[in-house]
Amino acid sequence: MEITGHPIDERINMEKVIIVGSGPAGYTAALYAGRAGLEPLLFAGPEPGGQLMITTDVENYPGFPDGIMGPDVMDLFRKQAEKFGARIRQETVESADLSSGTFSVMANGVKHESRTVIVSTGASAKWIGLESEVTFGGYGVSACATCDGFFFRGKTVAVVGGGDTAMEEANYLTRHADKVYLIHRRDQFRASKIMQERVLANPKVEVFWNSRIDEITGEMEPRKKVTGVRLASTIDDTKSDLPLDGVFVAIGHHPNSDIFKNSLETDENGYIKVKPFSTETNVSGVFACGDVTDHKYRQAITAAGSGCMAAIDAERHLESLGA
Ligand code: NAP
């Protein structure tokens, strides 16, 4: 409901802070805003908990020397935010109006107004862009080994990519599959050394260097399934067929900034721009944190750190408004 003609303080359901997104950045912003007494309203979005929900062992989050499972650590994040009064809604924000000093977001067809907005919508998996990838999505093609690896017990699968995610997925899949091919378009990985070493030392992993997937082949009857890939050399375009039961795409992520693009400045890849050493966007009162702003570090700990910054920035902004 549009309410006009009222002084700002008389508006119904005017929030102090709305947080969009529920990864490490969003929950940390909610924790800090909650402790500051701002009673933040957080929309968890289509992937509650964010990317760590599809990660197995998190070995590099400080405070967990024995590692922790991704979903378990996100459960702790959520509980801690709720403990300090964050209100968490399992809803997706469909659109946002950040054009005036009072902001609004639409979720489940309901409008929510707020003095400040923290955008922490994260990033999502990228796909190669093949039609066959869509055809067999969920029928042997996946972007999440920890979600779907179990279905490939005793089978042969491929992982595409050369970054840390691809290394992690390939290693993880060897727990289930008998054979894991790692398909990479260049002759060296960009993954960290330790992750590369683990993969290269794993006897179940075989690397196809300088290779790309031109087609994912499969059957539609009697049951839709992947049967292999058509590979092409990135050096001389030589083609070859590789029989497989599954393909895991692990080629990076894109920022979930689409609903904010009309109002917030982004870089050429869609990452929301923030001022240096700050979470301030180009719109005063709107802050952004976590992977939706960060193409460089993209770690849970850096996302959490920037979520903390966003909450502090929002709190100071509200103070400056006298709120
Ligand atoms: P990434 O580092 O951007 O690597 C993407 C990989 O996919 C690259 O090797 C790239 O090839 C390849 N690629 C991109 N587009 C492709 C396409 N269309 N076809 C074929 N290959 C393609 O992404 P990431 O591995 O998801 O990692 C993202 C960030 O998260 C990194 O900072 C990483 O360190 C971090 N991370 C950390 C951990 C951990 O520490 N446990 C785990 C996962 C991720 P080129 O190399 O040729 O560009």
pLDDT the model gives residue 56: 66
Q: Check: CATH 3.50.50.60 for 127-249?
A: yes
What does pLDDT average to over the chain?
A: 93
> What is the atom index within ligand 1 of the atom nearest the CA of 297?
32
Strands 156-160 and 246-249: parallel
Which residue owns the Cα nearest ligand 1 atom 39? 164
Q: How many CB atoms lie within 10 A of CB 207?
A: 18
* Residue 12 pLDDT level (bands cut at 50, 70, 90): low
| CA 253 – ligand 1 centroid, Å | 8
What is the DSSP code string of 141-200?
Answer: EES-HHHHGGGGTT-EEEEE-SSHHHHHHHHHHTTT-SEEEEE-SSSS--S-HHHHHHHH
Note the pTM of the prediction, 2 decimals: 0.77
Q: Do 127-249 and 8-124+253-321 have the same topology in CATH?
A: yes
Q: Under 8 Å CB-to-CB from 293, ≥6 apart: which residues?
A: 255, 271, 272, 273, 274, 279, 306
Active site residues: 144, 147-148
Q: Check: CATH 3.30.2130.10 for 8-124+253-321?
A: no
Q: Contact at 8 Å (CB) between 156 and 248?
A: no
Cα 38 from Cα 18, distance rounded (Å): 10
Domain boundaries, the chain: 8-124+253-321, 127-249
Please report, as a single letter, which amino acid is at residue 215: E
Which residue owns the Cα nearest ligand 1 atom 17? 128
| Interval 263-268 mean pLDDT | 96
The encoded tokens of residue 280 equal 């301030």
pLDDT in tens, 98-128: 998 789 999 999 999 999 999 999 998 899 9
SS3 63: coil
The encoded tokens of residue 67 equal 């590692």
Q: Which residues line ligand 1 (CB under 6 A)?
A: 60, 128, 160-166, 168, 185-186, 190, 212, 251-253, 298
pLDDT score of 9 more than 50:
no
pLDDT score of 179 more than 80:
yes
